[in-house]
Amino acid sequence: MLSLVVASLLVAGASASYLPVPLNTFAAAERYCQSYGGHLASIHSGFDNQGVTSFVNQQGYPAAFIGLQRQPSGLWTYTDGTTDNYVNWALNNPTNENCVTVGTDGFWYSVGCDDIETAVCYIADIPTIPTLPTMVPTRGPPTYQCPPGWSYFATSGACYWVGSSNTVDAARTTCTQMGADLTSIHSAEENGFVLGLAFRYTQTCTQASPWYYSVWTGGIVANGYNYWSDGTPFTYANFYGHGDPVNGAIYLVTESGCSDFSLWRVTGSKTASLTNFVCKNAVAKYLPIPKSNFNAAEAVCQANGGHLASVHNAFDNKAVTAFVVQQGYSAAFIGLQRQPSGKWLYSDGSAGNYFNWAIFNPNTDNCVTVGSDGYCLAMTKPATPKRNSEKEQPLKKAAPKISKQPDDSKQLISVKGVLISLVFSFVFACAGTYLFAKPLIEPVGYSLPPAPPFEGALKQNEVLARAERLLLDQIYGPESLAIHPVSGRLWASMKTGLICEIALDGDTPEIKRAVSLTNFTDCDGSYTTASRCGRPLGLRITPKGELLVADAYLGLFLIDLDREKVSNLFASGSEVNNDLKNPTRYLNDLDVLPDGRIVMSESSHRFDDRDFLLDLFEHRPNGRILTFKPATGELKALAKNLYFPNGIQVYGNDVIYSEMGMARIQRINYKTLETETIVDNLPGYPDNLRMDKLGQLLVPIPTIRDSFDAWLAERPGLRAFITTVLSPRALAFVAEYFTTPYGLVLRVDPLTGRIIESYHDPKGETMPSISMALETTDGRLYLGSDTNYFLGRLENKYLFKKNLF
């Protein structure tokens, strides 16, 4: 399933939908495809071959990677897990190279996997987006309006502005201050348009540095991977392609006398100052409305698929003002309206974050017009809006309000009480308790390397401190998150046993419905109710739009969201075919393999989720990676003897998993069973893993490592003593009390294990204990946690991946 932005890039055939991939290596091209929910194309018939060949010719490619690759065994397999049941090799092929391109003639050529080629993705299950019905007569086609000094290009539907003589960082700052970004380029037509904005005719290259007469774009090359700073997909390339750096900023040569005229070059210099730069901003469609009150005007806008205009930056304000002047209006309503709380919100749900009030404004009125001078005037009170009383029906029960303390007071042990009891317990233990009591665990000593310092890519910052807290005190422990690709709604697994559907529209998310996997009504997320109420952890949306749930106590579930039907695929305690002595106990995260099997982490077959600290204190390999085949019910262990495996992410034929007990990330090939460490010695203990839009791993670190961890690791006897003196519940409270709050998310290259960048909340005051980071199509990060009473959201503008060289 794809967003409209991605869907607009696809070319649909009779049996496949193809996405063009710019010049890249085989692995990078596959990662690009996976970021859009697909794989490099597989070909299983002459019909498929003709479809791919036609697409290659249509894109003007000389050849393009498909997903076929030779394995170490000598077998050829596709990245989607299928085998080569059809081939169309060219003469004298295949050679000893291990990857494959399809040429314009339809024949296949074996090439090096590290060669730089264009490629073809195959994307399945693209939804049909219905058009909105017209409820009232429209006012004619909308007008595309650019502010004065900006140029409109119909093919891209965007406005462009040319600045002069600047470095790339300064140029981008200028663009963002206007509410725009450095230009992205998505077609040869758009490349020509941008070229024309700053074109300079010369018979020869007149400068000592031939790229001087050039234009900064928003293109960034980072270790051979390409992306645009405005977050749009990299679907077109026009590189010069000889000798340029693999890290740097992309510029367009605009001097006609140069051999690389109209082509893209790359420079790694941050001090280079080019003649021009081009800013770009997607333009809004403006529709004039005749004189009416605020509510009637908003109704006309909604009937035409929109809202009264929102103004969030100087670019928007100039564009709206230009439209007001063009229409001959003295002033016109925008969607801004004062709420009873005093907060200004737009009718599209966004918050007022930019204001350009005229003098003596705002006054006591609650609606706003923009005058032909560009200033806002508050005027004309609207009718009182009616409250919508209709609610969506929950699957089993509505989400309850969550108090700040989910446990009942009789069963809670205060931190102070725990510390006092610990002192007395220690005294009695010295008198003989420890001699007669049997420890709950059989710990072993171990040693991890010292935690890496917070420097380089791990340098501390306060990015996560800028995150918002959503649904504060309405939810508890949103540990795992999943976005439904059609509805756009977020599903979150709560500590209370609920799985909630959250509408993300506008500035104020809202819980729409919730499902419980049991019929118990006293579920509060406490230690005593967890085992019967369940603790849903890993969530994934299947290709059919169903919701997969791994529950730590209840097993594996499949939820048909349309029919509101819950199915238990297998219960906790089920036998594992190739490990009969250890039935399932503690499922954690999950994903779906290319062959349709569900792959899951089982953090421990000895301890429950509520007693997870006992497993970490014991430090024995009690964890497994399991696979389940829905068609046959076959449940098998893919990997055994792991130290608290947690997050799961399928990546081609690899299952990437976080091994929390070892502070590392591993991969296992689900076909060959070869295992490899991707990242060793992380600064903390990794949790759920998810891919971002660039195919990079988002790795949350809910708890950082410190010197006490290393000291305790080498003292198994002390750990045995602690678990003898303290009940598991008391141990959890003491551990939480002494844990340093910290918020940390890493971006990691899944191929090399390189930590690309990190986002921190060093004081842990805003966004501590993050268990999940999920990037949505708009570039925002939603942040889950096993313990927080809110959902986190971090805006794309605070992430620095756009400035990577």
Q: Which burial class, exposed, middle or buried, applies to 111 when counting CB atoms under 10 A from its CB (0-12, 13-18, 19+)?
A: buried
Domain count, the chain: 4
| Residue 472 CA: distances (Å) to CA of 654, 703, 788, 793 | 37, 22, 9, 12
- The model's pTM: 0.52
If asked whether residues 99 and 44 sit together in one domain, one would say yes
If asked whether residues 156 and 272 sit together in one domain, one would say yes
Domain's final residue, options 379, 404, 423: 379
Q: 442 lies in a domain?
A: no
If asked whether residues 200 and 311 sit together in one domain, one would say no
* 232 neighbors 778 (Cβ within 8 angstroms): no
pLDDT of residue 403: 34
* 776 neighbors 782 (Cβ within 8 angstroms): yes
**Token duo for residue 88:** 């169309």
- The CATH number of the domain holding residue 336 is 3.10.100.10
Q: How far apart are CA 478 and CA 269, in angstroms?
A: 43
Q: How far apart are CA 622 and CA 141, in angstroms?
A: 64
Q: 398 lies in a domain?
A: no
Q: 365 lies in a domain?
A: yes
Q: 436 lies in a domain?
A: no
Low-confidence residues in the chain, pLDDT < 70? 1-16, 46-47, 124-145, 148, 165, 199-204, 206-212, 224, 283-285, 326, 359-360, 372-438, 800-805
If asked whether residues 303 and 246 sit together in one domain, one would say no
Q: Which burial class, exposed, middle or buried, applies to 361 when counting CB atoms under 10 A from its CB (0-12, 13-18, 19+)?
A: middle
What DSSP letter does each residue of 27-85 carry, written as one string?
Answer: HHHHHHHHHTT-EE----SHHHHHHHHHHHHHHT-SEEEEEEEE-TTS-EEETTS-B-S
Q: How far apart are CA 180 and CA 195, in angstroms?
A: 19
**Token duo for residue 755:** 């930590």
* 318 neighbors 148 (Cβ within 8 angstroms): yes
- In degrees and rounded to multiples of 5, residue 531 shows phi and psi of -70, -30
If asked whether residues 271 and 355 sit together in one domain, one would say no
Supply the range of the domain harboring residue 224.
147-282
* 251 neighbors 214 (Cβ within 8 angstroms): yes
3-state secondary structure 671-722: CCCCEEEEECCCCEECCCCEECCCCCEEEECCEECCHHHHHHHCCHHHHHHH
Q: 582 lies in a domain?
A: no
If asked whether residues 198 and 266 sit together in one domain, one would say yes
If asked whether residues 301 and 278 sit together in one domain, one would say no
pLDDT of residue 363: 82
If asked whether residues 70 and 158 sit together in one domain, one would say no
Q: 191 lies in a domain?
A: yes
If asked whether residues 785 and 697 sit together in one domain, one would say yes
Amino acid at 738: F
* 490 neighbors 481 (Cβ within 8 angstroms): yes
* 239 neighbors 23 (Cβ within 8 angstroms): yes
If asked whether residues 88 and 161 sit together in one domain, one would say no
Strands (E), 561-681: 565-571, 586-592, 598-604, 623-629, 634-642, 645-651, 654-659, 664-669, 675-679
Q: Count Cα neighbours of 74 within 13 Å in the Cβ-side half-sphere.
A: 0
Q: 65 lies in a domain?
A: yes
pLDDT of residue 401: 36
What DSSP letter does each residue of 358-401 carry, written as one string?
Answer: PTT-S-S--EEEEETTS-EEEE-PPPPPPPP---PPPSS-PPPP
Amino acid at 253: V
pLDDT of residue 312: 83
pLDDT of residue 383: 30
| Residue 109 CA: distances (Å) to CA of 19, 31, 86, 120, 487 | 20, 21, 14, 15, 41
pLDDT of residue 145: 59
Domain's final residue, options 107, 123, 139: 123
Q: Which residue, among 799, 651, 667, 781, has the nearest Cα to 33 in the 3D structure?
A: 651
* 785 neighbors 469 (Cβ within 8 angstroms): no
If asked whether residues 116 and 154 sit together in one domain, one would say no
Q: 611 lies in a domain?
A: no
- In degrees and rounded to multiples of 5, residue 707 shows phi and psi of -65, -30
Amino acid at 306: G
Domain's final residue, options 123, 157, 189: 123
If asked whether residues 314 and 276 sit together in one domain, one would say no
pLDDT of residue 204: 67
Answer positive or negative: Cα dihedral of 434, 440, 446, 451.
Answer: negative
3-state secondary structure of 161: strand
Answer positive or negative: Cα dihedral of 697, 703, 709, 712.
Answer: negative
